[in-house]
Amino acid sequence: MADRPSHEPRGRGVPAAAARPDGPAAGSGLAWLNELPADEAAAALRGCCEAPGWARQVAAGRPYRDLADLLAAADRAWAERGPGELAAAMASHPRIGDRGPDVAGQSRREQAGVGADPGTLAELREANGAYERRFGHVFLICAAGRGAPEILSELRRRMANDPGTELAVAASEIGKITALRLRKLAGT
């Protein structure tokens, strides 16, 4: 894969018309996704993973019978992603612990375990900076359900990885984050 990280602004979302940040709206989750026109389905899926080719491939696979079918298609599409897809997905993720106005509510909720202690946030900023200098991209971890000490420990452990290994780990973490977001999108 020819994925290269990008340093675009983080925390971008999908168009307002397709965004569903807190689960199903009118209609029902998976049925709603299955019934959308292809471009709107891809836009909604980009709220789960900002890789455009991945979103188009998952949208093209509809209709999905159930969540397991959707998750399997998403995993296949991520495994088959094209050049630039990983960088696009990475660029949409904020740094762990960021609290700025550009951080989407979805990321804030996923990182809730980080807390708001100024000392912890300063430690995360320092560790994130060291990571980005070493690897050239934002540190990615499926933060849902993890506290700051666990996240910091994992960041420090992963600093020993070589760049290729770390890029593969980051891609795997995006897959986990995407699965969580797809579950919310599907209303489960």
Taking 90 as the threshold, does the pLDDT of residue 15 lie above it?
no
Q: Is the pTM of this model over 0.85?
A: no
CATH code matching the domain that covers 29-185, chosen among 3.40.50.80, 1.10.1240.10, 1.10.3330.10, 1.10.1060.10: 1.10.3330.10
So where are the chain's domains? 29-185
- For 160-169, the pLDDT digits (tens) are 999 999 999 9
- For 22-42, the pLDDT digits (tens) are 433 443 499 999 999 999 999
Angle at 128 between CA 83 and CA 160, to 5 degrees: 75
Widest distance between CA atoms in the chain: 47
Q: Which pLDDT does position 7 carry in this prediction?
A: 35
Centre a 10 Å sphere on the Cβ of residue 59 and count the other Cβ atoms it contains.
23
Q: Which pLDDT does position 10 carry in this prediction?
A: 34
- For 169-182, the pLDDT digits (tens) are 999 999 999 999 99
Q: Which pLDDT does position 116 carry in this prediction?
A: 62
In angstroms, rounded to a whole number, what is the distance separating the alpha carbons of residues 66 and 29?
Answer: 10
